[in-house]
Amino acid sequence: MIKRDTLVIIAVFMLAAFLCQPSWAKEDTAQISLKKTAVSKQNVRLYKVKKGDVISAIIRKMPGITESDIPDNYRIIRQLNPEIEDLNKLYAGQILKLPGKSSSAAATNANAPAGTKTYRIKKGDSLITIIERELKIRTEHLKTVKLIKSMNPRISNANKIYAGQVIKLPVKTDAGQELNIAEQVKVIPAESQPQPQEATKIKENIAMSPAVKLAVIKQILTQMNASVLSSGNYYLPIAKTGQVTIDCAKIPVIEFDDKTTVFLDWENRLHDNLKKLIRENWKNFSIVKVDKKDDVIAILRKIIAATKDYSMTKRDTPLSTGSVLPVEVVVDWQIAKTDSRQNRTSIQALRFVPENNSLLPKAIKNYARKNGLIITEIDAEKGLAGRPEEIYSLSPLPVFPATTAKDFTHALVTHLGFTANKDADVKVFNVEKDGFNLSIKSDVLIEHADKKYIIYSRSLPEQFINIFKQRGYGLISVDSSDSPKIIMEKILPALAIPSTYGYFTFSGVDKNQAPFTFGFTGMKIKTDRDLYVVDFAIDDGLRGLISELWQAGFARY
Torsion of CA 39, 40, 41, 47, to 10 degrees: -30
Q: How far is CA 264 from CA 246, 268, 281, 383, in A?
A: 11, 9, 18, 19
* Residue 359 within any structural domain of the chain: yes
Judging by beta carbons within 10 Å of its beta carbon (0-12, 13-18, 19+), is residue 133 exposed, middle or buried?
exposed
Residues 530/552, Cβ–Cβ less than 8 Å:
yes
**286 with 336, same domain?**
yes
Torsion of CA 188, 191, 193, 196, to 10 degrees: 170
β partners of residue 524: 500, 532
68: helix, coil or strand?
helix
**156 with 295, same domain?**
no
Residues 102/149, Cβ–Cβ less than 8 Å:
no
Query: Among 84, 11, 9, 19, which Cα is nearest to 47's?
Result: 84
* Residue 79 within any structural domain of the chain: yes
Tell me which DSSP letter residue 249 carries. Answer: T
**195 with 217, same domain?**
no
**313 with 381, same domain?**
yes
Where on the phi/psi map is residue 441: left (φ > 0), alpha (ψ -120 to 50), or beta?
Answer: beta
Q: CA 488, CA 268: separation in Å to the nearest integer?
A: 69
Q: How far is CA 306 from CA 245, 251, 303, 312, 348, in A?
A: 22, 16, 5, 11, 17
Residue 202: the pLDDT is 35
Residue 40: the pLDDT is 52
**99 with 128, same domain?**
no
SS (H, E, C) 163-189: CCCEEEEECCCCCCCCCCHHHHHHHCC
Residue 96: the pLDDT is 87
Q: CA 548, CA 509: separation in Å to the nearest integer?
A: 15
Where does a domain end: 57, 87, 111? 111
| Angle ∠(17,20,23) on CA atoms, nearest 5 | 135
* Residue 399 within any structural domain of the chain: no
* Residue 357 within any structural domain of the chain: yes
Judging by beta carbons within 10 Å of its beta carbon (0-12, 13-18, 19+), is residue 375 exposed, middle or buried?
buried
Cβ atoms < 10 Å from Cβ of 249: 11
Tell me which DSSP letter residue 356 carries. Answer: G
Contacts of 9 (CB under 8 A, 6+ apart): none
**252 with 156, same domain?**
no
**104 with 133, same domain?**
no
Contacts of 490 (CB under 8 A, 6+ apart): 476, 477, 478, 482
Number of domains comprising the chain: 4
**Count of alpha carbons within 13 Å of 198, Cβ hemisphere only?**
13
Q: CA 250, CA 263: separation in Å to the nearest integer?
A: 10
Where does a domain end: 88, 111, 134? 111
Q: CA 99, CA 94: separation in Å to the nearest integer?
A: 16
**438 with 513, same domain?**
yes
**107 with 135, same domain?**
no
* Residue 440 within any structural domain of the chain: yes
Where does a domain end: 111, 128, 158? 111
What pTM value is reported for the model?
0.61
Residue 552: the pLDDT is 94
First-to-last alpha carbon distance for the chain, in angstroms, is 75
Q: CA 445, CA 440: separation in Å to the nearest integer?
A: 11
Query: What is the extent of the structural domain holding 71?
Result: 30-111
Chunk the chain into consecutive blocks of 10 residues (it has 557) and report each block's average pLDDT, rounded to whole numbers.
43 39 33 36 76 78 70 80 81 83 44 65 80 78 79 70 77 46 35 36 55 94 92 82 83 90 86 78 84 90 92 89 90 84 74 79 95 92 87 91 93 93 82 70 86 86 81 87 94 92 90 90 92 95 94 95
Residue 67: the pLDDT is 60
Q: What is the CA radius of gyration of the chain?
A: 34
Q: How far is CA 293 from CA 56, 142, 206, 267, 289, in A?
A: 32, 20, 12, 10, 12
CATH number at residue 48: 3.10.350.10
Residues 336/321, Cβ–Cβ less than 8 Å:
no
Residue 459: the pLDDT is 82
**50 with 176, same domain?**
no
Residue 343: the pLDDT is 59
**377 with 410, same domain?**
no
Residues 332/350, Cβ–Cβ less than 8 Å:
yes
* Residue 10 within any structural domain of the chain: no
Residues 212/230, Cβ–Cβ less than 8 Å:
no
CATH number at residue 149: 3.10.350
Q: How far is CA 481 from CA 399, 424, 550, in A?
A: 19, 21, 34
β partners of residue 383: 379
Residues 120/168, Cβ–Cβ less than 8 Å:
no
**351 with 422, same domain?**
no
344-352 and 333-338 as β-strands: parallel, antiparallel, unpaired? antiparallel
* Residue 395 within any structural domain of the chain: no
Q: CA 164, CA 355: separation in Å to the nearest integer?
A: 12
420: helix, coil or strand?
strand
* Residue 365 within any structural domain of the chain: yes
